[in-house]
Amino acid sequence: MDLENCSSPNFCSYFPQHLSGFVYLFWLDCLLISCLCQDWNHTWYTPSPDFTQCFHNTVLVWLPCLYLWICAPIYLIYLRSHNQGYICMSLLNKAKTAVSLLLWIICWADVFYSFWERSHGSSVPAPVLLVSPTLLGLTMLLATFIVQYERMKGVQSSGVMLIYWLLATLCAIVTFRSKILQALDQLSTVCVWRYTTFFIYFTLLLIALFLSCLPDRPPLFSQAVKDPNPCPEHGASFLSKITFWWISRMMVIGYKRPLEEKDLWSLNLDDRSQNVVPQLVHRWNTECQKVKRTEEKTLYSPRQDRQRETKQGPAVEESEILLTKTQQKAKEPSLFWVLCLTFGPYFLISCLYKFIQDILMFVGPEILRLLISFVNNSNAPSWHGFFYTALLFVCTCVQSLVLQRYFHVCFVTGMRLRTAIIGAVYRKALVISSAARRTSTVGEIVNLMSVDAQRFMDLITYINMIWSAPLQVVLALYFLWQNLGASVLAGVAVMILLVPVNAVIAMKTKSYQVAQMKSKDNRIKLMNEMLNGIKVLKLYAWELAFKDKVAGIRESELQVLKKAAYLGAVSTFTWVCAPFLVALSTFAVYVLVDEHNVLDAEKAFVSLALFNILRFPLNMLPMVISSMVQASVSLKRLRVFLSHEELQEDSVEHKVIAAPYSISIMDGVFCWSRSESPALKRLNVCIPEGSLVAVVGHVGSGKSSLLSALLGEMDKLEGTVAIKGSVAYVPQQAWIQNSTLKGNIIFGQERKEAWYQHVVEACALQPDLEILPAGDETEIGEKGVNLSGGQKQRVSLARAVYCDRAIYLLDDPLSAVDAHVGKHIFDQVIGPQGLLKDKTRVLVTHGLSYLPQADLILVMVEGEITEMGSYQQLMATEGAFSEFLRTYAAVDQTQNNGKKHCSVGTKGLENGSATALADSAINSVSKLSQTGKEDKDLSQKAKNPGVGKLTEADKASTGQVKLSVFWAYLKAIGVLLSFISLLLFITHHGLSLFSNYWLSLWTDDPVINGTQPTRMMRLGVYGALGFSQGVAVFGFSLSMSIGGILASRYLHQSMLYDVLRSPMSFFERTPSGNLVNRFSKEIDTIDTVIPQIFKMFLGSMFNVLGACVVILIATPLVAVVIPFLGLLYFFVQRFYVASSRQLKRLESVSRSPIYTHFNETLLGTSVIRAFGEQERFICNSDQRVDHNQKAYFPSIVANRWLAIRLEFVGNCIVSFAALFAVIARESLSPGIMGLSISYALQLTTSLTWLVRMSSDMETNIVAVEKVKEYSDTEKEAEWKHEPSSLPSGWPTEGQIELRGFCLRYRHDLDLAIRNINITISGGEKVGIVGRTGAGKSSLTLGLFRIIERAEGHIFIDGVDIAQLGLHELRSRITIIPQDPVVFSGSLRMNLDPFDSYSDDEVWRALEFSHLKNFVSSLPDKLNHECSEGGENLSVGQRQLLCLARALLRKTKILVLDEATAAVDMETDNLIQSTIRSQFEDCTILTIAHRLNTIMDYTRVLVLEKGEIAEFDSPSNLISQRGAFYKMAKDAGLV
């Protein structure tokens, strides 16, 4: 049967009417195959190509229909499960529906015309003319249905439909051209009806295509409608999504002015913490339960299992049966599997994109082969060349779109992963047990959130290379085999040999990685502590000792980095040489095996293009492996942390207990960690509802532990604890948040104004509010830096009272406040007539005066309750308690003046005083006020919260990174080293260019008798060039890495020095999160990221230049286009960098608050848990993470936006290179053309990398900018003057003289201390007293020059202290500060960081400070490790440790700043007697909190509002009946 013209009218004679359907279908298949075969001969070998009618009526019509019918079922199922809301009928939707229906009508018109033709015409039309329009009509109906269904499911723009209309239009364009040509050539054969319907069909298709490019309105009630600044991605059209056009508006704003916070969109719902974190946490918990059940199955007897079954139902039993098989496996829950389950499904889409992209990669070399054979074949019609060029352009553009889509999915997954990890770590940190908490320091946990989460993000982008790289290698080898035959095996052998080399390098890198992370953790931990205790470092002049400690850790970190750099250089050498060695060995074997094997242009350059493709997976694999190695280290760290033991949920039962009791402990035994002996033993106590219970005992007797046990913070080994009602807790060391004073008190509860005022007054905070610059809206710095100890304690108490709970656990809240304030608080809040009189109160106290009013007293000794009863009962029993009381009460049985119970207690009336920093309340706090006008009305203050701002958030700098920053980095490397590196780099690239040019010359060598005579010489030179490239690149890599290490050493050192030289006000203003961020994240960037980016930037820059040079040499015509494309490229790059840089800065600025908040939370976990506020804090943390990701998301989209536009520029260059090569094919040698196009093919990647790297370089060099930032902040005076003018034993007398001394906290504020003129003789003991805010502490801060004088002088032994170096001054006088600060490290280090005393001297100091017995009982004695913040010592022991420090230094002047606030009466007595005996001949200044301790002093200085009120001996002052007399009277001393 002649099928050539199947649609001709006389065709019907061949077609039997009675054919069955099956035969008919078979016939259609044959027809199609025949069409295709015939067409190929018709279309290809002709100067004017066209398809046959048969092809037009079948393939071109059926192809789009086939696409839609295959996609429709999958797409409809997807829509059904992803409902995004309902879109109301819009004009656009009506238009789409109308066009689809019109198309359907046109198709049916064709069908009816065929029927009409059949019945009226002389000939029967071909069946195709019936089948095709019918199929098309049905497809149009399907399209109409899909358009409506999409609207009902809330799809604003459809990719499936856009691709369908695009396919249909492209197919119709081919037919359109053919019909025009047919009408021009054979007018007689034209069927007017079909032509008319086709042109109407074609027009409607164009309209449908245009409409499908437009997005519909958002669905009803969608997030975008409610959101003030929604992310435009959801509402964007499909085209806008694949080209990332939807971010352009933000880019334009960013180009016009620096982007700000308000320009950022809200996060997409799917990316928010509230969606992402719970998924991971839920799956992780399920995984842990699974493992636990498996373990229990092996551990427990069947009887115990049955018990569990009854509790949890039969389902447990079932799963246990399933799990018994896995018993033998390791018992670790798999975090990796959990991450796969959580993020795998979305991430799988990226695998599909990657696969398509990998296949498309190999189109380039194939087209290159066709182009070279086209140049060689002078008979080929010239349209072939243009067709190849067009095909190359289309393929590369599609490849770009797919690749960027792939990256987008990867980055979004990485972003979600980071959110989930931070959220999971935060949630875990809130429930971790205290034993587990000791194993993970704050530094480590912060690193989990910053560094480890980042590692995962980085890995996600590359993880697909694990399967994609082998696939690319296999495909490349297949095509190479086609090209060069068996000689490819030589190249394969080289590759296989290089794999173990890379594997060894990766393994070594892993071990270095672990070591580096360890050093880094230690360094951040130490930095954290230094920043927390910076005031103590300054007072003791210990900065240098700690600077050396940090430098020591840093040095070991850099040693590891250096080793890693050597390894890196070797690995760079192998992977630059790898592709070259593969090419060299393959070509060598190819030409040497048979002398008739000629290396022509087609073989050489197609192979080279394939080797270049091969280069990427071979380079990437080691990188991916090392990235996976790093991530596996991080994965393990995370798994260990997330598997830590949690607090026992059932340790405290919150059930209703027998009526009269609100707290009961039966046979309680508690420990801090299972590995230690119990801290509390044999506890049996029942506390009646509404009673006041006092807990007393010596330092370290377990008083605070008892409260921890009631809160469920300790491990319960035996017994039961039951509590009725809600709990409030006031810890011994107040935990203050970095928020307003009001925020600290209200603590997330609802605002009740009258109650709030009541609480503030009862807690004696009203006077403080009047002093604070913005009243209760004043911002409190981190850890309450701008409040005194007493104010912090009162705020902490006010928080508990405001929350209004049933049970109050108060851990010595009165220890840090003045006597009269303590009495006021006890009467107004805690005591029998206080606000809490109906609540159950458990009060740990050292203040004996409160005991008679307690309903029940518990006496604790070494973790046991030895006596229990009311005050009268205990006195009557003549036990340890009554003796203890008599000892202390006897001291001052002075006039009671009618006051109750004063006989006991004068001593204990007050056990701490707030005066600390807050005498400066005026001062310290006024430091913050932004105005110097102190005469403002209070109410006005409260209205202006700006006044009370203290901490400065990290600011994002704007504009271009200054060249000075790059110059600073280069100087840090060393100019000579930088120059050598550059020289080696240029050498490497020059050799690389020349070796490829040499190859093109070789391929153009004439063939004589079937062989190339010069091939041996060509091969030798080619090999030598390759080897020298390797040497150059090794040298460059090494010098660059070493330079990077030198730079990071210098930058870290100078930043550390700059920070330590900063004054105290700097630390009050700067959140520690910012500083920790600089020392962890920014230094990590300088250590590892910047040197890599410099390398890659230079690499891609020289690749681009090299490619342009080669293309210009080969096809000079490209010179016309390159400047234009270059300008476009430059504009796009500048346009992008403006936004990208600012987004990166905003992201970096919003990162610090995450860690600051996390740090704060870790310090207050027990308080947060006691108040049950975990959810609120988790929400707060999530908000901060989302806020950070809000800046990160646009920056990754901006990268995609850029990549697509740049790759388009690159694709244009490739196409122009090919196009001009086709035009000039007569004059071009195949070798040069092959060289030009193989370089052009690499250009796209290099261009994209160049911009990525240049913007990465700008964004990462910001780290250097931030590190350098602190070199410009204000500094303290010099530490030492060279040469020192001081005599060696100064001060010998200890005489202090203040002449006209004035002091202010900031130059725009009023004086905090005015005109003090006093002389204190050597050896005098002077007490300093005054109400809160009188300036007591300010005086000591002035003496130590923590704050510099405003006017006047202080002379010590006749030397003006303003003329001394700070260390010279501070190391010669001693202070025992109010807050006992202990650093992690050995006890010995805490006492003597400079190692300037012998062990005997240290032991003697411990003996005098009453710690000798305690330290001797420790297994490691002086080397006992103190945990972070000294948490494994009680507060009293820490205070004694501070005393020991003072005893060791034994200077002539000693300042006591409320040094015995946190200790019981007995210890206080010990300390006082030690000071009297050991510092007998020293000058002592004591800021007094218990007046009885200074009654025997030589003189007392009474301050009021920063001025001297009285200054005389205590007896004279009492007889004068002035201010001091009133205080003594309040304290019951007169």
- With bands split at pLDDT 50, 70 and 90, how would you rate the model's confidence at 656? low
Query: Between residues 1070 and 355, which one has the greater pLDDT?
Result: 355
Mean pLDDT along residues 654-663: 72
CA-to-CA dists, residue 1334 to 697, 1036, 1193, 1489, angstroms:
33, 65, 52, 14
In single-letter form, the type of residue at position 932 comes to: G
pLDDT (average), residues 1447-1461: 79
Kindly give the interhelix angle for 192-212 and 159-185, rounded to the nearest 10 degrees: 150
Task: Please write the tens of the pLDDT for every residue from 550-600.
Answer: 888 989 999 998 888 888 888 878 777 777 788 888 888 888 887 777 778
- Give the Cα separation of 1145 and 259 in Å (integer): 10
DSSP collapsed to 3 states, 97-115: HHHHHHHHHHHHHHHHHHH
Give the separation between CA 399 and CA 313, rounded to whole angstroms: 55
Q: Sorting pLDDT into bands at 50, 70 and 90, what band is 230?
A: confident
**Cα dihedral sign for 37, 40, 46, 47?**
positive
Beta bridge partners of 646: 432
| Cα atoms found within 13 Å of the Cα of residue 998, Cβ hemisphere only | 19
Structure confidence at residue 954 (pLDDT):
58
- What pLDDT does residue 326 have? 40
User: What's the pLDDT tens digit per position in 1438-1449?
Assistant: 888 888 888 888
pLDDT band at 753 (very low <50, low <70, confident <90, very high): confident
Whether the bond into 314 is cis, omega within 30 of 0? no
Residue 121: its pLDDT value, please? 67
* pLDDT one-digit tens code per residue, 673-698: 777 788 888 888 888 888 899 988 87
Q: Tell me the average pLDDT across 1396-1419.
A: 84
Instruction: Tell me if residue 922 falls in helix, strand or coil.
Output: helix
Per-residue pLDDT reduced to its tens digit, 702-724: 888 898 888 888 888 888 888 88
What is the distance between the alpha carbons of residues 441 and 1427, in angstroms, rounded to a whole number?
A: 9
* Beta carbons within 10 angstroms of residue 1447's beta carbon: 24
Most confident region among 393-397, 746-750, 886-890, 1442-1446 by mean pLDDT: 393-397
Model confidence, pTM:
0.74
Least confident interval from 212-216, 439-443, 450-454, 759-763: 439-443
For position 1290, what pLDDT does the model report?
Answer: 81
pLDDT at 1182: 92
The whole-number average pLDDT for the span 1269-1282 is: 80
Could you tell me how far CA 340 lies from the centroid of its own chain?
Answer: 21
Residue-level pLDDT at 1122: 80
Among candidates 634, 640, 605, which has minimal Cα distance to 484?
605
**What percent of the chain clears pLDDT 70, i.e. is strictly above it?**
88
DSSP string computed for 247-261: GHHHHHHHHHS---G
950 vs 984, more confident: 984
Q: pLDDT-based confidence at 943, cuts 50/70/90?
A: very low
End-to-end CA distance of the chain: 132
Alpha-helical (H) ranges within 1164-1297 are 1165-1171, 1174-1223, 1230-1269
Question: Binning pLDDT at 50, 70 and 90, where does residue 951 land?
Answer: low
Rounded distance between C-alpha atoms, residue 590 and residue 603, angstroms: 11
- Rounded to whole angstroms, how far apart are CA atoms 838 and 1077? 47
pLDDT by residue (tens digit) across 1193-1225?
A: 998 898 888 888 888 888 888 888 888 888 877
Contact 1194, 264 (CB under 8 A): yes
The answer on pLDDT for 939 being more than 50 is no
Name which of 27-31, 955-959, 1033-1037, 1459-1463 the model is least confident about: 27-31
pLDDT greater than 70 at residue 488: yes
Q: Are 722 and 664 in contact (CB under 8 A)?
A: yes
How far is C-alpha 1418 from the geometric centre of its chain's CA atoms?
40
pLDDT band of residue 922 (cuts 50, 70, 90) is very low
C-alpha 1418/C-alpha 1426 separation (Å) is 12
Q: How confident is the model at residue 940 (pLDDT cuts 50, 70, 90)?
A: very low
DSSP H helix total and E strand total for the chain:
56, 21
Q: How confident is the model at residue 424 (pLDDT cuts 50, 70, 90)?
A: very high
Structure tokens at 1038: 């090494």
Quickly state the pLDDT bin for 743 (edges 50, 70, 90): confident
pLDDT digits (tens, 9 = 90+) for 1142-1170: 888 888 888 888 888 888 888 888 889 88
Res 1427 pLDDT > 60: yes
pLDDT of 498? 78
Compute CA distances 49 → 41, 44, 46, 383, 1174, whole Å.
Answer: 10, 6, 6, 9, 74
Question: Which residues, listed in sequence order, are joined to residue 665 by a DSSP beta bridge?
Answer: 685, 721
Q: How far apart are CA 860 and CA 680, in angstroms?
A: 10
Report pLDDT for 423: 92
Length of the chain in residues, anyone? Answer: 1534
Cis omega (within 30 of 0) for bond into 1291: yes
The model's pLDDT over 335-382, given as tens digits with 9 standing for 90+, comes to 888 888 888 888 888 899 999 989 988 888 888 888 888 877 777 788
Q: Which two tokens stand for residue 749?
A: 């509860």
pLDDT at 1384: 79
pLDDT of 901 reads: 36
Coil vs helix vs strand at 1454: strand
- Using pLDDT thresholds of 50, 70 and 90, give the confidence band for residue 924: very low
Please, are residues 1256 and 1091 in contact by the beta-carbon 8 Å criterion? no
pLDDT in tens, 132-145: 888 888 888 888 88
597-637 pLDDT per residue, tens: 777 878 888 887 887 787 778 767 767 777 787 788 888 88
1499-1504/1507-1512 β-pairing: antiparallel
Residue-level pLDDT at 1462: 58
| Average pLDDT score over the chain | 79
Q: Report the pLDDT value the prediction gives residue 888, as an integer from 0 to 100.
A: 58
